[in-house]
Amino acid sequence: MRNIFKNKNLIILIAVLFVFLGITLSSIYSNSPGKESRKKVSFIVYGDDSERWENMRQGAGLVCEENDADLALITTLSENDVKEQEEIISREISNGADALIIAACSSKEIKDYINELRVRIPVIFIGSNSEENNKTEFVSPNDYQIGYDLGKQFVKNESDIVTVAIISENTERDTVTLREKGFRDAIATEGKVGRVLTWSRNDNEKTVNRRVFVQRALVSEACDAIVTFDNLATDALLDALVNLNQHSKVYSVSTSNKAVYNLYDKEIRALAYPDEYSMGYLAAVYALDKKNAGKKYTGEEIDYKIVRKENMYDEDNQTLLFPFVN
């Protein structure tokens, strides 16, 4: 009987040793240098419309998938609430994000905030390319040149007595400011333009809906053509024209589905379209391996096209406008 108990105790002891050994080996393996946990990349954008960022998310997502990293797209309730975006940035850092990709609602304020935090993880700004702050990285096309080329297209298409209204919205973002400057420089140097109007919010319109502001401008001043420099202003203009049952010649920088639709048979005469898929792809490459990416992609430029109805079905333009259509 004693032998039986001894054998049972021996078996139990051996089983316990095997379990302990398994746990120990598992712990050693999981913490070994060759076994790294998946990195977490937080893509923080402005506004609550996640579809607006889909092209960038797809590009960044491909890089993360190839590198066993997780990408989280994080939107905000407001398009212009700096405080909200700052709180999200702090939260993501506290929650263990390994890298941040940021579409800043206000380029200068968000960049200053990142510098104040002295963030130790890679931070890549997407769609912001002011050279005033060289402590941060950015991925963006040449926004000044986009605006300039759109201006050249405008001068080429329109007469020298045309009245053009420039919607000056969201100028706290570097991309918009540079595009507007490029456009104004082009129409001043590439040919003659009749009258230039600037549509911006008055003191009573700081908090009103963007479409309402544009509608007020449309009924207040007559013009022959209108220019916008981002998705938000473009979509608001197109909605306002529909609501007022008006038509105009629109020149725009935008990547929204509404803009592409209106390029085909509606208001838009020329559309400057940046390659946002490549912007997301390159941002994720820098976020995950900043040092090597800097060597490999030095001088890499984000492509863009000036697309008209006449050439929107060219192969290159189709690839840019409809990147996920087989």
For residue range 154-190, what is the model confidence (pLDDT) as tens digits? 999 999 999 999 999 999 999 999 999 999 999 999 9
Task: Return mean pLDDT, the chain.
Answer: 86
Domain CATH number, residue 296 = 3.40.50.2300
32, pLDDT greater than 60: no
Domain containing 265: what range?
A: 143-274
- Residue 5: band (very low, low, confident or very high) from pLDDT cuts 50, 70, 90: very low
Asked if residue 52 is part of any domain, the answer here is yes
- Residue 300: band (very low, low, confident or very high) from pLDDT cuts 50, 70, 90: confident
- Residue 205: band (very low, low, confident or very high) from pLDDT cuts 50, 70, 90: confident
- Residue 2: band (very low, low, confident or very high) from pLDDT cuts 50, 70, 90: very low
77, pLDDT greater than 70: yes
Judge if 150 and 254 occupy the same domain.
yes
Tokens of 31: 């913490």
Mean pLDDT in residue range 135-146? 85
Q: Which residue has the tokens 């379209």?
A: 273
275 within 8 A of 303, measured Cβ to Cβ:
yes
208, pLDDT greater than 90: no
Per-residue model confidence (pLDDT) at position 23: 57
Judge if 136 and 214 occupy the same domain.
no
Judge if 128 and 94 occupy the same domain.
yes
135, pLDDT greater than 60: no
Judge if 50 and 156 occupy the same domain.
no
**Could you tell me how many residues make up the chain?**
326
Judge if 148 and 251 occupy the same domain.
yes
Per-residue model confidence (pLDDT) at position 169: 93
Radius of gyration of the chain (CA): 26
Per-residue model confidence (pLDDT) at position 124: 94
Judge if 111 and 175 occupy the same domain.
no
Listed in sequence order, the residues at least 6 apart from 263 whose beta carbon sits closer than 8 Å to its beta carbon are 271, 307, 308, 309, 312
Coil, strand or helix at 133: coil
Asked if residue 1 is part of any domain, the answer here is no
Per-residue model confidence (pLDDT) at position 29: 44
The pairing of strands 268-274 and 304-307 is: antiparallel
Considering 6-15, 27-36, 87-96, the range whose residues carry the highest mean pLDDT is: 87-96
Judge if 281 and 264 occupy the same domain.
no
Tens-place pLDDT, residues 39-74 = 999 999 999 999 999 999 999 999 999 999 999 999
Mean pLDDT in residue range 113-128? 90
Judge if 156 and 261 occupy the same domain.
yes
Q: Which of 72-81, 104-113, 139-148, 256-265 has the lowest mean pLDDT?
A: 256-265
From its phi and psi, is residue 124 left (phi > 0), alpha (psi between -120 and 50) or beta? beta
Which stretches within 158-256 are classed as H helix? 174-189, 210-220, 231-243
Judge if 78 and 88 occupy the same domain.
yes
Per-residue model confidence (pLDDT) at position 15: 56
190 within 8 A of 151, measured Cβ to Cβ:
yes
How many domains is the chain partitioned into structurally? 2
- Residue 35: band (very low, low, confident or very high) from pLDDT cuts 50, 70, 90: very low
Tokens of 37: 């946990």
The pairing of strands 39-44 and 69-74 is: parallel
Per-residue model confidence (pLDDT) at position 93: 96
Judge if 97 and 162 occupy the same domain.
no
Judge if 48 and 92 occupy the same domain.
yes
pTM: 0.84
Judge if 155 and 101 occupy the same domain.
no
Q: Which of 60-69, 121-130, 180-189, 276-285 has the lowest mean pLDDT?
A: 121-130
Mean pLDDT in residue range 254-266? 88
Per-residue model confidence (pLDDT) at position 22: 55
